[in-house]
Structure 1
Amino acid sequence: MNLHDITKKYILNDTELVIIETIINELSKGNQKISIRDIASQTYVSTTVIVKLAKKLGFVGYSQMLYVLNESIHQKVSIENLSDLSEFVNNDDIETVQKLIDDIYQHKHEKIYLVGVGFSDIITHYFLKRLASFDIFAYDGAPIDCINARSNPSIIILFSKSGETAEFIAQTNHDVTILEMKPAILTDMVVTNMIPNMERLHQQQIKIVTNATVSKINENAVSYKNADGDEIAIPASTVVSAFGYKAYNPLENVAKENCNEVYVIGSAVKAGNTLTAIQDGYQAGLKL
């Protein structure tokens, strides 16, 4: 990990950089339960300094920072071997893109809105400039502008990779609460993406409840059980459900009984993303 790239957004001082580096080094050695006192001893600072650093980076405290850093350094997603985008676009995607192009040209003299939240905003700005090069002028602004009845756009194009639904809803002046079963959210993100996402959630004043298991959803509320087993109800007018995945691999043993060489890739090994599956498939292909 490049510590400067991870933390430059927060302008950390030398002491804070040493603390982060020490934690990452310990986690890389497999010491996943390194205590805050041990880190303080190794870096010659007080535990208070470490807690302040954790909060500066958008965490609740040291434990959450340790948990997320540990999850992040074990995400070994490499895109070095990804080549031309066309290799990953199927015929259905091409038809969809062509339809989008036709729609844009059909409404080129009308209102076209581009919306990208978070890192997708970079793609939105690029797309805006590309449209301008064809004398097609679009507007890229806050998501709230697109749901303003007075705007009445002909086309709205949404750009999203991570799907920051909570942030979008918060920008429509809703009171948003995220319920997460794990001890922390965004643990499947690398630190360079996770930290600014956490910062934006805090800026939008989105409440985050971890170690929460949803037990009931009705018309007016969502009930969940906390870590102590207490059931708590939250009034709700809108509920967005996001479910995780588990690896499902019933054919591996059958395949190994009938084939001399078997490679298991993608979500059959561990639920992940498309890039991970493509990388695994590429590496398996090299071995054949």
Structure 2
Amino acid sequence: MRLPSLTRTEQSIAENFLQPHFLQKSTSIKEVAERLGVSTALIVKVSKKLGFSGFKQLKDALNAHHGSESYSPSEQLQPDDSCEQIVTKVLQNSINALTEILNFVDTNMVSAAADAIINARNIELYAAGGSNIICEDFQHKLLRFGVRANVPRDRHLMLMSASVLNEQDVVLVVSHSGQTVDLMDAVRMAKQAGATIIAITNNYHAELAQLSNYPLYAPASPEPLLGKNGTARLVKLALIDSLYATIASKIPKVAEENLDKTTKAVALLHR
């Protein structure tokens, strides 16, 4: 999640840190610097940017993580993988991603976001590209217990939507990068109008996270096939499900009554 805030060289160093067993307990900072062709000072700088006091604390944390019983490294697909290997890797990476977010999610933030949605006059769900289906899924879930939300389908509609919001409204934004141009103009306008912003993103340092009243982080690997286009969507959907269930728990009577109505309304379609 902190990778986008690093320079290209710093990102390369951090990505090496993330490789299983790249840092052994006995590995010195001098060894790492020589192996990567950088200075020890840069290694320390990257360690601090990643939230540690220095290289030693980062190394100890990684070794503790890799040595834990629950640790199972995510794997990339290889050109010669069999179907069995592909399926195993995809499903294991999905399990890893859900385990990671379970250890990371801020439940107080989820609860506050749920309260904001419950009390909102209007609920707008903004996304672009592959994230659109996440907003549509949330819209469908909310409608099941009588909470209406709108999903503007393009940039023009998002800007028009944002222009008529006020402090009684909520905008939930789904963006892996947190800096998609099509979204950010509308988010800035909604924020200026006084609307409450809820964000689901992977980028801790993105402008979207900074503008959000309630940022919800969905960490996922930047790897293009199984990472940001695979597990990233999975963890965002899991966060949406958590938010949906939290909302239902806060309005149990309304949720139960409307869920019964909407279930009966589509029962005729289930022949």
Common fold by TM > 0.5: no
Relative to the length of structure 1, the TM-score reads 0.31
RCO comparison, higher one (Cα < 8 Å, 6+): 2
**TM-score, normalising length from structure 2?**
0.32
Bigger-Rg structure (1/2): 1
Q: Where is the helix percentage greater, Structure 1 or Structure 2?
A: 2
1 or 2, which has the higher strand percentage? 1
